[in-house]
Amino acid sequence: MSEGAPKSTHFGYKTVETEQKADLVADVFHSVAAKYDIMNDVMSFGIHRFWKRFTIETAAPRPGMHVLDLAGGTGDLTAKFSDLVGPTGKVVLADINDSMLKVGRAKLRDRGIVGNVNYVQANAEALPFPDNYFDIITIAFGLRNVTDKDAALRSMQRVLKPGGKLLVLEFSKPQHEVMRKIYDTYSFKILPKMGQMITDDADSYEYLAESIRMHPDQETLKQMMCDAGFEQVDYTNMTDGIVALHRGYKF
Ligand SMILES: C[S@@+](CC[C@H](N)C(=O)[O-])C[C@H]1O[C@@H](n2cnc3c(N)ncnc32)[C@H](O)[C@@H]1O
């Protein structure tokens, strides 16, 4: 922990010591890794595929590019990027959690996706890559789980090439009161029960719902990206702002 860093932070609605959070988040993803993909489809009614497709379209990778799929987990974005950057390009799927990386690597290899993908266990707060290396960085549903989000954004800014773009796909704040009410009922009453049924783990899905509520809203995240040195930062709300895609450039 850096000097002057806060001693406590949030893990969902709980206040925990800053040093504890990464281990608590690790427990969540070790626990859900094997059933992560099926839970994503079930709990989002498949809509996460649309959110991810829009992210890929906005990223607009070209053959030969270097792409970092940070907090890439089971590799949904990596699989698409691998195809689009082709044999002369490179995709790095980086994640802090070895259980998620193992599931991702096995899934992609089963699909015959090899050759231009590397798997790296890394903490977003201190990326082990050279300066100015990637053309595109994505972090999908990952930033919410990172303890020091500002450090992570600065680290992404460092490894992005001038002219490169960062895309942050993350849960955000629904724009209409009626949607907020439906979404709250769904998240706090139904989601943990689904988690219990499918993964035998209600706690991880309670954390999911709570961590979403504690995550910075659209405008706050936009400001954080600007503070980390990104330029022309803007965002697109999807599904009434349940999810937002933030975009920022390095010049
Ligand atoms: C909800 S999953 C998202 C996986 C994938 N990007 C997707 O959209 O399906 C969140 C991922 O963030 C990873 N993660 C959490 N904290 C991290 C950190 N500090 N650095 C890198 N990855 C992290 C977790 O291990 C997990 O795989």
Over residues 155-198, the pLDDT tens digits come to: 999 999 999 999 999 999 999 999 999 999 999 999 889 889 88
CA distance 207 to 108: 28
pLDDT score, position 3: 56
Residue 72 CA to ligand 1 centre (angstroms)? 6
**Residue 239 binned pLDDT confidence (cut-offs 50, 70, 90):** very high
Residue 53, pLDDT > 80, answer: yes
**Cβ neighbours of residue 109 closer than 8 Å, sequence gap 6 or more:** none
Pick from 108, 145, 210, 245 the residue to mutate for probing ligand 1's pocket: most ligand atoms within 8 Å of its CB: 145
CA distance 248 to 235: 9
Residue 87 CA to ligand 1 centre (angstroms)? 26
Flag the least confident range among 7-16, 114-123, 139-148, 215-224: 7-16
Q: Would the CB of 119 count as within 6 Å of ligand 1?
A: no
pLDDT score, position 156: 98
**Residue 4 binned pLDDT confidence (cut-offs 50, 70, 90):** low
Query: Would you tell me how many other CB atoms lie within 10 Å of the CB of residue 38?
Result: 11
Torsion of Cα atoms, 173 then 174 then 180 then 184, to 10°: -50
Residue 212 CA to ligand 1 centre (angstroms)? 14
Please name the residue whose Cα sits nearest to atom 1 of ligand 1: 141
CA distance 114 to 141: 24
Query: What are the distances in angstroms from CA 106 to CA 83, 123, 188?
Result: 17, 21, 32
| Mean pLDDT, range 57-72, rounded to an integer | 98
Residue 27 CA to ligand 1 centre (angstroms)? 12
Pick from 11, 53, 96, 101 the residue to mutate for probing ligand 1's pocket: most ligand atoms within 8 Å of its CB: 96
**Residue 201 binned pLDDT confidence (cut-offs 50, 70, 90):** confident
Q: Nearest CA to 208 among 197, 224, 195?
A: 195
Residue 1, pLDDT > 60, answer: no
Please name the residue whose Cα sits nearest to atom 10 of ligand 1: 142
CA distance 163 to 83: 22
**Residue 234 binned pLDDT confidence (cut-offs 50, 70, 90):** very high
pLDDT score, position 2: 52
Q: Would the CB of 123 count as within 6 Å of ligand 1?
A: yes
pLDDT score, position 112: 95
pLDDT score, position 218: 98
Domains in the chain: ranges and CATH: 8-175+207-249 (3.40.50.150)
The mean pLDDT of the chain is 95
Q: Would the CB of 101 count as within 6 Å of ligand 1?
A: no
Q: Would the CB of 71 count as within 6 Å of ligand 1?
A: yes
**Residue 7 binned pLDDT confidence (cut-offs 50, 70, 90):** confident
3-class SS of residue 136: strand
Query: What are the distances in angstroms from CA 39 to CA 192, 205, 226?
Result: 11, 10, 33
Q: Would the CB of 187 count as within 6 Å of ligand 1?
A: no
Residue-by-residue DSSP string for 46-84: THHHHHHHHHHHHH---TT-EEEEET-TT-HHHHHHHHH
